Amino acid sequence: MTGTVFVDTNVFVYRLDTREPAKQASAQRWLEALWEQHRGRLSFQVLQELYVTLTRRLDPAVDAGTARSVVRSLLPWEPVSMSSGVVEAAWAVEDRFGLSWWDALVVAAAQVGGCAFLLTEDLQHGQQLGTVRVISPFEVGPELLLGGR
């Protein structure tokens, strides 16, 4: 399988969360593979959620300076910006698939960003949401989509 992979917030959080070593290792493998192959994408919504989760919801929380460095390190992934096109697409996804608004925004950003896959644990693995297929990073490894590794 080929295509660009949109990465949801939870994958980035697990990479830094030491409380779940198996999920941390899976997230690390996925993110390294996506970085190496230049196939990962995200959105500014994901970056915002990541910052808030790291600094306010993670226990223990990450200090603001470290969280900012993490967010800055992901800017080369060419985040999809919030736009009227993303909002319109999110409404269509929300109506068609019955997703929450926040999940619909993630799916819409993946669609607008031209991604074939959405890497997340928040939706059903294998689910097809319009042009985007959901992949759980904890059910399959990156070799499924990216080969090698």
Any domain includes 97? yes
Q: How many structural domains comprise the chain?
A: 1
Neighbours of 78 (CB within 10 A): 14
Give the CATH number for residue 78: 3.40.50.1010
Any domain includes 35? yes
What's the pLDDT tens digit per position in 84-142? 999 999 999 999 999 999 999 999 999 999 999 999 999 999 999 999 999 999 999 99
What's the pLDDT tens digit per position in 50-72? 999 999 999 899 999 999 999 99
CA distance 13 to 59: 11
> In the structure encoding, which two tokens stand for residue 64, read together?
């603001």
Any domain includes 48? yes
Let me know how long the chain is. 149
pLDDT band for position 149 (cuts 50, 70, 90): very low
What's the domain range around 47?
A: 5-139
118 class by beta-carbon count within 10 Å (0-12 exposed, 13-18 middle, 19+ buried): buried
